[in-house]
């Protein structure tokens, strides 16, 4: 199975290493040998149709910041022209344009390649259009790692909706916000102090705007709602309020009453919203620290909650690999028929 990797940051490198390490396992258990035939980053690309030495590319990237020379071709052309089966798209998320991921994914579909991605940008903007393009080209599109890192939240939602209806999804989808809110309520510190602490501990980016203002949660909510058929909304249609105005006093007052303030994302037939909300401390959804949690409200079978770490290079890479195995499974079924 020939793979093109677009994006070679933390997740891309973790994925390349995971695939290399697991090659004997994948051959034995799932009957395929993955072969990375191209790696593209913002600086250029390296290609080898016989399969790249992934460890060498990682070393080079870490030393020089680049995977290879600038080639005459752009990334989309390389994706379109390379003989391969699957594009693994892990370039940085852009919430406004979805680029460069959006162009990469389209280019893969048009050239009849399956796509596995953890890039939230293209999904938040063009979920339905991308699904349609994949169907039109008879290829598969998987994006488990876009919500919940290594925690298979989207798959779980689909299982819950087999023979039942998921009528509502409620989630805590951003570990940075949850870390900050937990810190505020536990240590009675201000938002600013809790944010500074999150940055010191590496839980918040240097520019944490997209976490704090709720947009990261909103994009994940859009992906879940579209995936489960609850909505066709894009991120522009989500009613979003971030956590920047939550006061330490409010957080503390909630704790006194056995409650907590959390950044809660909600999707149902009536619409999508993300806002700081009060929930009972005993609610299984009410996780602390950097955990993510999602509650699926099911018509017949009741509420279920799934909890996990929502980020991390190796964790997200494991979701990409799971998606790849599932694509491989349906490829063999198609062949057998």
Tell me phi and psi for residue 83, to 5 degrees: -75, 110
CB atoms within 10 A of CB 208: 19
Dist. CA 175–CA 242, nearest whole Å: 13
Contacts of residue 323, defined as CB under 8 A and 6 or more positions apart, other chains included, come to 116, 142, 143, 144, 145
Write down the least CB distance from residue 42 to its own copies, Å. 27
139-198 binders of its own copies (CB under 8 A): 149-152, 155-156, 159-160, 162-164
Q: Determine if 303 is a binding residue for its own copies (CB under 8 A).
A: yes
Q: Please report which helix (H) or strand (E) contains residue 279, including its range.
A: strand 271-280
Q: Determine if 16 is a binding residue for its own copies (CB under 8 A).
A: no
Catalytic residue IDs: 220
Please spell the DSSP secondary structure of 217-278, one letter per residue: HHHHHHHHHHHTTS----GGGSEE--STT--HHHHHHHHHTTEEEEEEEEEETTEEEEEEEE
Q: Which stretch in 75-83, 189-197, 223-231, 310-318 sits in contact with its own copies by CB under 8 A?
A: 310-318
- Interface residue with its own copies, options 312, 327, 331, 332 (CB under 8 A): 312
- Interface residue with its own copies, options 207, 245, 256, 282 (CB under 8 A): 282
Q: Taking a C-beta distance cutoff of 8 angstroms, is the pair 178, 260 a contact? A: no
User: Closer CB to its own copies, residue 245 or residue 300?
Assistant: 300
- Interface residue with its own copies, options 132, 205, 302, 332 (CB under 8 A): 302
From residue 175, alpha-carbon distances to 26, 141, 172, 178, 309 in Å are 31, 26, 8, 5, 8
- Interface residue with its own copies, options 20, 241, 297, 304 (CB under 8 A): 304
Write down the least CB distance from residue 203 to its own copies, Å. 15
Query: Tokens 């509420």 — which residue?
Result: 303
Write down the least CB distance from residue 257 to its own copies, Å. 15
Size of the site for its own copies (CB under 8 A): 47
User: Closer CB to its own copies, residue 134 or residue 285?
Assistant: 285
Q: Taking a C-beta distance cutoff of 8 angstroms, is the pair 189, 248 a contact? A: yes
Tell me phi and psi for residue 194, to 5 degrees: -65, -40
Q: Determine if 317 is a binding residue for its own copies (CB under 8 A).
A: yes
At 172, is the secondary structure helix, strand, or coil?
A: strand
Q: Which stretch in 73-81, 188-196, 239-247, 288-296 sits in contact with its own copies by CB under 8 A?
A: 288-296
Binding-site ranges for its own copies (CB under 8 A): 18, 22, 26, 30, 149-152, 155-156, 159-160, 162-164, 282, 284, 287-289, 291, 293, 298, 300-309, 312, 314-315, 317-319, 321-322, 324-326, 333, 336-337
């Amino acid at each position: 199975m020939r793979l093109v990797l677009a994006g070679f940051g933390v997740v891309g490198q973790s994925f390349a290493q995971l695939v290399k390490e697991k090659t004997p396992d994948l051959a034995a258990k799932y009957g395929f040998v993955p072969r990375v035939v191209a790696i593209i980053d913002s600086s250029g690309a390296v290609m080898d149709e016989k399969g790249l030495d992934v460890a060498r590319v990682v070393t080079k990237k870490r030393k020089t910041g680049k995977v290879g020379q600038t080639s005459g071709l752009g990334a989309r052309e390389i994706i379109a022209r390379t003989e391969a089966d699957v594009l693994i798209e892990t370039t940085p998320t852009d919430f406004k344009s979805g680029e460069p991921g959006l162009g990469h994914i389209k280019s893969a579909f048009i050239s009849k390649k399956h796509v596995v991605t953890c890039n939230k940008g293209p999904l938040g903007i063009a979920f339905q259009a991308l699904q349609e393009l994949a169907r039109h080209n008879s290829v598969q599109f998987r994006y488990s790692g876009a919500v919940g890192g290594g925690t298979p939240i989207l798959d779980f939602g689909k299982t819950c909706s087999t023979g039942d209806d998921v009528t509502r999804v409620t989630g805590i989808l951003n570990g940075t916000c949850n870390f900050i809110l937990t810190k505020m309520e536990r240590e009675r510190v201000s938002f600013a102090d809790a944010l500074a602490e999150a940055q010191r501990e590496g839980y918040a980016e240097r520019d944490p705007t997209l976490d704090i203002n709720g947009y990261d949660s909103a994009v994940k909510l859009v992906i879940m709602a579209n995936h489960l058929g609850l909505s066709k909304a894009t991120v522009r249609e989500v009613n979003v309020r971030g956590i920047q105005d939550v006061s330490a006093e409010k957080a503390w007052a909630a704790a006194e009453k056995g409650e907590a303030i959390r950044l809660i994302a909600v999707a149902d037939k009536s619409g999508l919203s993300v806002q700081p909300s009060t929930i009972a401390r005993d609610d299984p959804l009410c996780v602390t620290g950097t955990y993510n949690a999602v509650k699926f409200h099911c018509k017949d079978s009741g509420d279920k909650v799934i909890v996990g770490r929502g980020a991390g290079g190796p964790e997200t890479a494991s979701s990409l690999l799971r998606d790849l195995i599932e694509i491989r499974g349906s490829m063999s079924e198609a062949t057998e028929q």
